[in-house]
Structure 1
Amino acid sequence: MKILLVCLGNICRSPMAEGVFRQLAEQRGLDWQIDSAGTADYHVGEAPDRRAQRASAEVGIAIENLRGRQVEKSDFTRFDWILALDRANLRALQSLAPAGHSARLGLLLDPFLEGREPEEVADPYWGEMEDFRACRAQIEQAAEKFFARTGRLQKNPS
């Protein structure tokens, strides 16, 4: 399975999501390719926000070596899933997607995953440290459900 997690600048939500997804895949012994990107080019080459690094480190996830990058056209055929952290970035992905792409696009907090109306992972960038922790916790919950759901789909394709 190949998963790309996407937010706007790729320095807060999506690198935290990449770290969470990598940790869960490793814990489950899954050889999944997990990456993150932004729809904008604001922070290409930059490390994640220090608060995102700290919120991740508090639960044993190291993201300081990740670097921001922008979504590329090739991502739409390279990844099985491209999960946006909010609706604005999902719309941006939908407009960037080339015709005939193979990736499944959706929100990380999709009703498929959560069993309720889609929600967005709030951007903690302008907030305080507790906003980064809340964001990480929300991502952790969604990631657990994604792994549980996709695992069932792989075993029972109906």
Structure 2
Amino acid sequence: MQSVLFVCLGNICRSPLAEAIAKKISQERGLNILIDSAGTGDWHIGEAPCVDSIKVAKMHGVDISSLRARQVSKKDLEIFELMVALDEKNYADLKAMGANNIVKLGNYGYDGADIPDPYFFNGFEGFDKVYEMIEVCVNNLFKLKFENKE
């Protein structure tokens, strides 16, 4: 089975959104892909996604409220054939862990730009913008990496 892990810093806003968007796309397109998300940091382990990420996901017909943050593990490097970093720091952290199957999500729609942490924006609009960026990039990533390859 093909597999993909979306990775951000805390696994409470960007990567859970990417996971849910990817699962929705996978289901809509009839793809059989193991999809998960994790963070490089450990301070949110076991927490639900942040309130604004839950809200923006729900606005787009996606429910992420049951997801729980977890940290990337060495086992993930073996399980997932593709690791998708949401920004350059996450990419570097995965590389330092020994991952070699890493791409940056922004390479699939935003000329390699980082998918910014929505907390760097003013208010809820940042979450809406980040959702839009992730959705565009995940769609493009799946077209290039997973469709017509089963």
TMscore range, shorter length: over 0.9
Quick check: 1:118 aligned with 2:119?
A: no
Correspondence for 1:150: 145
Quick check: 1:108 aligned with 2:97?
A: no
Correspondence for 2:132: 137
1:120-156 deviation line (CA, Å, top 9, x unaligned): 001012431110010000000001101111246727x
Quick check: 1:40 aligned with 2:41?
A: yes
Q: What is the identity, as a one-letter code, of the residue corresponding to 1:54?
A: K
Unaligned runs of 5+ in 2: none
Relative to structure 1, the CA distance from residue 64 to residue 133 in structure 2 (aligned partners, 3 Å threshold; closer, same or farther) is: same
> What CA distance in whole angstroms lies between the structure 2 residues aligned with 1:65 and 1:117?
32
Contact 2:86 2:114 in 1 (8 A): yes
Query: 3-state DSSP class of the match of 1:125?
Result: helix
Q: After the TM superposition, which residues 14-93 of structure 1 pair with which residues of structure 2 at under 5 Å, given as runs? A: 14-93=15-94
1:45-86 deviation line (CA, Å, top 9, x unaligned): 000000000000001000000000000001111001100000
Contact 1:39 1:70 in 2 (8 A): yes
> What CA distance in whole angstroms lies between the structure 2 residues aligned with 1:117 and 1:55?
24
Contact 1:12 1:125 in 2 (8 A): no
> What CA distance in whole angstroms lies between the structure 2 residues aligned with 1:21 and 1:137?
13
Correspondence for 1:95: 96
Unaligned runs of 5+ in 1: none
> What CA distance in whole angstroms lies between the structure 2 residues aligned with 1:117 and 1:67?
30
Larger Rg: 1
Give the % identical residues. Answer: 35
> What CA distance in whole angstroms lies between the structure 2 residues aligned with 1:47 and 1:152?
30
Which region of structure 1 is more displaced relative to structure 2, 120-129 or 24-33? 120-129
Count matched residues: 148
